[in-house]
Amino acid sequence: MVELDRVSKLYGETVAVDDVSLALRARAFTALLGPSGCGKTTVLSMIAGLLAPDQGDIRLDGVSMARSAPERRPVSIVFQKTLLFPHLSVEQNVGFGLRMGGLARSEVRRRSTEMLELVQLAGLGSRHVRDLSGGQEQRVALARALVLAPRVLLLDEPFSQLDTGLRTEMRALVRGLHDDLEVTTLFVTHDQTEAVAVADEVALMLAGVLAGQDTPKAFYTAPPSLAAARFFGVTNEVPGRVAAGCFVSADGTLRHAACVADGAAVLVVRPEGLQLTTETGPHCVPGTVVAARFAGTHLVVEVRADGGTRLTVHVPAAEPVSVGGRVAVRVPPQACTVFTQPR
């Protein structure tokens, strides 16, 4: 169980990591998600020991690691650039850590070969690093990290340089290895679909701050903040006010459980959560279709509500939609999230 306790890191004037407290459950697969420059790689480097936090502590199973050099932490890390040693063969790369630990050569070779099989690179031990493809290089880097049986495995966007098909394959490989070896894993990425596809839990970092930590589903159905919602691709934001337990906007009123404190508020709802309908009534907002675009698996329909708000709705591709026609948008309350005091 890895804990970051109020960790901060500054680079001169810039705060890269701001008072972050993060707990990784033992043997869980957590994704550390966030846009470029939000501090995720810094967090990873601090857990690995390559950077020292300016404030706060990092603990493994309750014991502080802050003073330990990287070589003494039971943490392995795989970087974005594979950083395989160019002067060593594949097998020598994989066995590097074991050799540094003083293990007998025959044992090193045995474990390296075993690990290469696990990452599906059996038989490539004597190959030179230069002759490998991008995907093969990453597998070697993985093998090199895992052969040391670390307590924590850190991955810093390791597949961002690979093309899509390969990326999916490698994700599955990492997830499979995690499940087999039961190692606590922290996977850094800027791609929220990747995070959602592979992780048990997602920790979202925005501008150096931890903006939420929850299951992937929760980020979709109940995002913890407006910034988090925006990061996850919510495109419908309706400004308005909260009054008497309801959200009031130019397009209507909606009773919502989150409407507690009166004041300015914003309502967000995902395009997939809305439907087009011809009904009228509560939670149906009348409006005109402004645009309809085919997006492969669905239609992206933009509706200008009569009150002025623009709503984006995803409808099944086969549904008949005519631009300029009158339509109503059904807004289910359970698909909405209301944030008070929007920034």
What residues make contact with other proteins under the rule CB under 8 A? 48-50, 69-72, 75-77, 79, 81, 83, 85-87, 96-97, 100-101, 128, 144-145, 148
| Nearest-approach distance from CB 98 to other proteins, in angstroms | 8
Classified as helix, coil or strand, 306 is coil
| Nearest-approach distance from CB 148 to other proteins, in angstroms | 7
> Which C-beta is closer to other proteins: that of 29 or that of 96?
96
> Which C-beta is closer to other proteins: that of 96 or that of 339?
96
| Nearest-approach distance from CB 132 to other proteins, in angstroms | 15
| Nearest-approach distance from CB 334 to other proteins, in angstroms | 46
> Which C-beta is closer to other proteins: that of 4 or that of 77?
77
> Which C-beta is closer to other proteins: that of 63 or that of 69?
69
CA distance 157 to 153: 13
Q: In the beta sheet, which residues pair with residue 76?
A: 153
Q: How many helices (H) and strands (E) does the chain have?
A: 9, 20
> Which C-beta is closer to other proteins: that of 108 or that of 211?
108
| Nearest-approach distance from CB 20 to other proteins, in angstroms | 21
CA distance 73 to 109: 23
Strand order across the beta sheet in which 14-24 lies: 14-24, 2-11, 55-60, 63-64
Contact 157, 79 (CB under 8 A): no
CA distance 2 to 27: 10
Count CA atoms closer than 13 A to 299's CA, side-chain side. Answer: 19
